[in-house]
Amino acid sequence: MLYSKIKNRTWEILSTAAHGDYPAVFFQWFMLVLILLNVIAVVFATVQSVNQQFNQFFNWFETFSVIIFSLEYLLRLWSCTSAPDRRPLWGRIKFAFYPMSIIDLLSVLPFYLPFFGLDLRFLRILRMFRVFRLAKIGRYYQSLNLMRNVFASKKEEIVLSATIMGVLLVLSSSLLYYLENEAQPQAFSSIPAAMWWAVTALTTVGYGDIYPITPLGKFVASLIAISGIGMFALPTGIISSGFVEEIQKHKKEHAETPENITCPHCGKKFNHGETKQPEKKE
């Protein structure tokens, strides 16, 4: 049926760019470039002098981008039922609540909200949702999925290290509060106020606006600063090892196994099926 073929072909172009499928590859690259240009436009539009000079261009480009992104979202919502496990109504509703589908919607939502008569002050806040277009890159640039896989495989270790860092933050701010409160009641007025110093010390930033002046406070602060270096090295090592594991896994999946070896002349895969041994005659 022509309708089903058009819908299936639309889903193929929108979902994955297979090797040799030039329309799909062109679409993926076009959307990737458009997203990057949108992010650049959002960044430079915050510069007042640039925005005043190119305000008309920014508005035109915003309208053009929203039209493209809206068509893409509607086409995805229409063609997503090409998958055999998706029903016409429930499949589309389920697809609309996928994280990437929500990002697609949030990237164009601020453009349409003024047509519903909402408060303009509220719209200024929602226009920040345009930055979500940067998150759409993950749909078109498969290498960014590596980061998602790393955090998914190392989530227990990352949560554990984050918990330890949170405990260290509370402990450090509490110690400095009790050691420095009498000497500096304004700088270390409370434990939450001391947390600002603890964050700058543990991250080794050290702005210098708040610092201990008592001998014992300086000694404890030195130990906290040194421990902060080790604490931030812990999640860094976890994430680094996760990247190495994912890269090795990716290489193994795309290695030339017997099933993936192709003929250098015709490009067809060799058939490495099991060969039957001839039966011995009795």
Distance CA 21, CA 84 (A): 22
Distance CA 101, CA 219 (A): 52
Low-confidence stretches of the chain (pLDDT beneath 50): 119-127, 261-267, 270, 272-277, 282
Nearest residue to 133 (alpha-carbon basis) of 226, 208, 221, 68: 68
**The tokens of 104 are what?**
């697609």
Beta strands in 91-214 (DSSP E): none
Which pLDDT score, from 0 to 100, does residue 143 have?
Answer: 61
Distance CA 33, CA 275 (A): 50
The CA dihedral of 227, 232, 234, 239, to the nearest 10 degrees, is 180
Each residue of 203-215: b (16+ CB within 10 Å) or e?
A: eeeeeeebbbeee
Please check whether residue 111 is in contact with residue 66, taking contact to mean a CB–CB distance below 8 angstroms. yes
The CA dihedral of 41, 44, 48, 54, to the nearest 10 degrees, is -50
User: Is 155-253 a CATH 1.10.287.70 domain?
Assistant: yes
User: CATH 1.20.120.350: which residues of the chain?
Assistant: 2-140
CATH architecture, range 2-140? Up-down Bundle (1.20)
Q: What is the pLDDT of residues 26-76, one digit of tens each?
A: 888 888 788 888 878 877 887 888 888 998 998 899 899 889 989 988 998
Q: What is the pLDDT of residues 3-33, one digit of tens each?
A: 788 888 888 888 766 667 788 878 888 887 8
Which pLDDT score, from 0 to 100, does residue 60 have?
Answer: 92
User: CATH 1.10.287.70: which residues of the chain?
Assistant: 155-253
